[in-house]
Amino acid sequence: MLKYKRIALLIMIVMFGITLTITGCGAKSLNFESSSNQGSSADMAAPVPAPMAPQEEYDNEGSYNSTGEAGKGISERKMIETVHLTLVVDNVFEVAEKITELAEHLNGFIQESRTWEGSDAKHGYLTARIPAERLTEAMNQIETLGTVRSTQRSGQDVTEQYFDRQARLRNLEAQEERYLEILSEAKTTEDVINVERELVRVREQIEVYMGQLKYLDHQINLATLNIQLEEQKTINEIEKPSFIKAFDAAKVATKNSINMILTAISGLIIAIGYLIPLTPIILLAAYIYYRKVYSRRKNSSKAKDNEEV
């Protein structure tokens, strides 16, 4: 009896193994057929790939970068530096000339320069563009030309803005290359027109970003130094009284008085000249007025006399 049980158990184990083997083979054949069918259908319906730009992402610190270049924008900060400096000097024109020479010596230039004379002293204003790496050197040399009244130095961080535009520019350039490849493979006129239209759009965006990057580079590489110049006020000595100067002043006053009298007489003569042509009209009007007044008085006196009688 025990022998038969062992034989039955062995038969069940063999049948279970055969079943597993058949099931595995069937699944493999089904998977093979399914994958082969899918591959053939995909090959038949595969469209022409559209241009794809490289994937863009932000790194952990917030700087915009292309895939594979995350973190590049954080290692180098992009700063636009501006300085406002007020300087009291002995001679505005000489100091302005020295600042101009200094800017040229440091490979910079003067963007704006103005000098003028106020009611109490001379003033000047200059805007110099100095290479950013030599800004501190320029400030130190300019401060030796006079007395510093005030200084203000500020910086604008454009790192994220700068690398954002760089990443977008690279993506647009990649799109442009892909469109050029598609254009070379285009078969119909409609495809050529569509691809050329997209190329024009991409090229316009590329030029916009290139212009923005060029402007940012100019602002970053050249710091702005605004310099206000004020001339030192001097106390004038009080002049001693002088009889000669008093006589000269009296002589000038006399001449001025005579000139005023002559001017008044000249004006009167001119006025009379204007009135001469109008003299007959003025006399006639005076005569008419006199006659009216005289007749009115005469009538009133007669009326009084009649009343008394």
Query: Which of 195-204, 238-247, 249-258 tops mean pLDDT?
Result: 195-204
Mean pLDDT of the chain: 76
User: What are the residue boundaries of the structural domains of the chain, listed by start?
Assistant: 1-46, 54-232
* Interval 267-271 mean pLDDT: 84
Give the pairing type, strands 222-231 and 79-89.
Answer: parallel
Residue 6 tokens, joined? 């062992």
> Sign of the CA dihedral 268, 269, 274, 275?
positive
* Higher local confidence (pLDDT), 75 or 78: 78
Contact by Cβ (8 Å): 57, 65: yes
Residue type, 286: A
Please classify residue 73 by burial: count the beta carbons closer than 10 Å to its beta carbon, then call 0-12 exposed, 13-18 middle and 19+ buried. buried
Residue 210 tokens, joined? 């290139």
**Residue 283 parent element (H or E):** helix 279-308
- 108 pLDDT band, cuts 50/70/90, is very high
Residue 125 tokens, joined? 């204003």
Q: Kindly report the CA angle at 200 between 198 and 204, in degrees rounded to 5?
A: 120
Q: What is the 8-class DSSP label of residue 172?
A: H
C-alpha of 157 from chain center = 16
Q: What is the 8-class DSSP label of residue 68?
A: T
For the question of whether the overall pTM of this predicted structure is more than 0.85, the answer is no
Q: Is the pLDDT of residue 152 over 80?
A: yes
Q: Kindly report the CA angle at 45 between 41 and 48, in degrees rounded to 5?
A: 140
